[in-house]
């Protein structure tokens, strides 16, 4: 799902790697790439335009963040804007104060309404409701039967017109169903309505007649996400013809591009409430804009890290470390402190690149695993304050003492000290050559 969009966005963010701060040109460049990515994903043009406008404006206004590098800042903005166009908060079903709650399904034929009726029924039942499905799709010869099959699979009652009684009059069927639900104490009624292959006036009229007759608490417009840009036209027609309170995206499993998902909320002003991701009854879930956005970015980890970095970042400490680096007075003690600050944030190896002042150690430490980190900490802790301040004094006998104290080999101590000298030299060079380098890339 959304594979190509994912790749394109990732490569857009790569243009910002290694940048110290966001220039106007950087913002233009990344915005252009994001724009192309969204257009290629078949997102509606006005939606893309608004999206890019917002991203640019926010990137320009972004304060120079001490916790995040430019790439991370832009990822954060794009993520938030994605959440926003996907609807922001998760929108839950509204239940009627006086049951039964009536949910009406509308959409084109083949959109997935009947399947959805079963999915919703099963889902509601699992939550302790007592749903009833209503076969008000009397257009398609097999529709009533199909709903009965689906209802059977879901273990949910199906109300279908008796042959000869109400046949051909879906409005009457829907009314009868609600009366029946009251009698039999079903607390949610899901009304499956007829679809057509295309939008037509009669279809809209029937749907709005049913709506007027049963006064639903929710009208869910079911749209096949695979139809891409056409989804927008269809959604607009239904919004005008029947109006609906929420959208269900079906066949998201087959939607390689994501255009419908990303456009529909902005185009209709109605929230996406559920997503269907397969033919089976449990291929279905509440739609969460935030989860969908991080899935599109495929950066769940990075987003979590960004959040953690913002929380854990101690600006004063980092500033002090940066000044020490520039002045050539960064010591093993500082190194230890930074490592401990990082450890608080979680996985060391993943987080190494995120800390200003620590980024330079990345190459040196790239081959270490988490246990190496513990080893380094143990070695530094076994040093005296004087040794931490000035590792040059660490001679043979001190090395032996430190290795014993930390339970490591003398060669481990040697290696750490050597690496520290190398890193210090490198950092000083970088500091002299035009200030602190930007944080390295964000990849885990």
Q: Which residues bind ligand GDP (CB under 6 A)?
A: 107, 109-115, 195, 250-251, 253-254, 276-279, 283
Q: Residue 278 or residue 441: which is nearer to ligand GDP going by CB?
A: 278
Find how far residue 68's CA is from the centre of its chain.
Answer: 19
Pairing mode, if any, of strands 188-193 and 157-159? unpaired
What is the distance between the alpha carbons of residues 39 and 358, in angstroms, rounded to a whole number?
38
Q: How far is CA 35 from CA 43, 47, 53, 292, in A?
A: 10, 10, 10, 19
259 is in an annotated binding site: no
Report in angstroms how near the CB of residue 250 gets to ligand GDP at its nearest. 4
- Minimum distance from residue 258 beta carbon to ligand GDP (Å): 15
Residue closer to ligand GDP, measured from CB, 279 or 422? 279
* 196 annotated to a ligand binding site: yes
193 is in an annotated binding site: yes
DSSP 312-361: H--HHHHHHHHHHHHHT---HHHHHHHHHHHHHHS-HHHHGGGSTTTGGG
Question: Does 195 show up as a binding residue in the annotation?
Answer: yes
Smallest distance from ligand GDP to CB 135, Å: 11
- Cβ–Cβ under 8 Å, residues 85 and 265: yes
86 is in an annotated binding site: no
- Shortest Cβ 128–ligand GDP spacing (Å): 25
- Does 418 carry a binding-site annotation? no
Rounded least distance, CB 160 to ligand GDP, Å? 14
Nearer Cβ to ligand GDP (283/323)? 283
Backbone CA torsion sign across 173, 179, 180, 182: positive
252 marked as part of a ligand binding site: yes
Between 118 and 289, CB nearer to ligand GDP: 118
User: Is 133 or 339 the residue whose CB approaches ligand GDP more closely?
Assistant: 133
How far are the Cα atoms of 221, 349, 419 from residue 365, in angstroms, in the given order? 53, 8, 9
Tell me the sheet residues that pair with 161: none
Residue closer to ligand GDP by CB (options 69, 114) is: 114
E strand or H helix at 17: none
The answer on whether 112 is annotated among ligand-binding residues is yes
CB of 119 to ligand GDP, least distance (A): 8
| Residue of 235, 252, 287 whose CA lies nearest to 89 | 287
By beta-carbon proximity to ligand GDP, the closer residue of 291 and 419 is 291
Minimum distance of ligand GDP from residue 211's CB (angstroms):
17
93 marked ligand binding residue: no
**DSSP character string of 190-243:** EEEE---SS--HHHHHHHHHHHHHH--SEEEEEEEGGGTTHHHHHHHHHHHHT-
Cβ 386 vs Cβ 393: under 8 Å: yes
What's the Cα-to-Cα distance from 217 to each of 98, 189, 380, rounded to whole Å? 11, 10, 65
Check the annotation: does 108 bind a ligand: yes
Q: Choose between 94 and 145: whose C-beta lies nearer to ligand GDP.
A: 145
Q: Is 300 helix (H, G, I), strand (E, B) or coil?
A: helix
Contacts of residue 397, defined as CB under 8 A and 6 or more positions apart, other chains included, come to: none
Q: Would you state the structure tokens that stand for residue 103, as one six-digit string?
A: 């949910």
Question: In angstroms, what is the minimal distance from the CB of 64 to ligand GDP?
Answer: 45
Going by the annotation, the residues of the binding site are: 107-114, 192-196, 250-253
Q: Binding site for GTP: what residues are annotated?
A: 107-114, 192-196, 250-253
């Amino acid at each position: 799902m959304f594979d190509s969009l994912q790749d394109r966005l990732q490569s857009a963010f790569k243009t910002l790697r290694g940048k110290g701060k966001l220039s106007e040109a950087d913002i233009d460049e990344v915005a252009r790439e994001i724009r192309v990515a969204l257009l290629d994903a078949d997102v509606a043009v006005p939606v893309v335009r608004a999206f890019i406008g917002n991203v640019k404006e926010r990137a320009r206004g972004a304060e120079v963040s001490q916790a995040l590098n430019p790439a991370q800042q832009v990822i954060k903005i794009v993520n938030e804007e994605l959440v926003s166009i996907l609807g922001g908060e998760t929108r839950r079903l509204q239940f009627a104060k006086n049951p039964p709650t009536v949910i009406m399904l509308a959409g084109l034929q083949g959109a997935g309404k009947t399947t959805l009726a079963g999915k919703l029924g099963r889902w509601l039942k699992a939550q302790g409701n007592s749903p009833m499905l209503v076969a008000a799709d009397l257009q398609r010869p097999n529709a009533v039967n199909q709903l009965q099959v689906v209802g059977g699979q879901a273990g949910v009652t199906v109300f279908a017109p008796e042959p000869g009684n109400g046949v051909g009059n879906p409005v009457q069927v829907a009314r009868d169903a609600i009366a029946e639900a009251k009698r039999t104490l079903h607390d949610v009624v899901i009304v499956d309505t007829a679809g057509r292959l295309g939008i037509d006036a009669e279809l809209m009229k029937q749907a709005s007649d049913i709506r007027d007759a049963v006064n639903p608490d929710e009208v869910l417009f079911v749209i096949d996400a695979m139809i891409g840009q056409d989804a927008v036209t269809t959604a607009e027609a239904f919004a005008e013809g029947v109006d609906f309170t929420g959208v269900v995206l079906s066949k998201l499993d087959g939607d390689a591009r994501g255009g419908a998902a990303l456009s529909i909320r902005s185009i209709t002003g109605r929230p996406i409430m559920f997503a269907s991701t397969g033919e089976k009854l449990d291929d279905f879930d509440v739609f969460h804009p935030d989860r969908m956005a991080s899935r599109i970015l495929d950066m769940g980890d990075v987003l979590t890290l960004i959040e953690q970095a913002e929380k854990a970042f101690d600006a004063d400490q980092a500033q002090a470390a940066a000044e020490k680096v520039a002045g050539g007075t960064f010591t093993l003690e500082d190194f230890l402190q930074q490592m401990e600050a990082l450890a608080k944030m979680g996985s060391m190896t993943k987080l190494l690149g995120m800390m200003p002042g620590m980024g330079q150690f990345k190459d040196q430490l790239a081959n270490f695993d988490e246990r190496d980190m513990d080893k380094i900490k143990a070695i530094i802790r076994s040093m005296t304050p004087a040794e931490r301040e000035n590792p040059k004094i660490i001679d043979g006998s001190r090395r032996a003492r430190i290795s014993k104290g930390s339970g490591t080999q003398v060669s481990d101590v040697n290696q750490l000290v050597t690496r520290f000298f190398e890193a210090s030299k490198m950092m000083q060079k970088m500091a002299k050559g035009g200030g602190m380098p930007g944080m390295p890339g964000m990849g885990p």
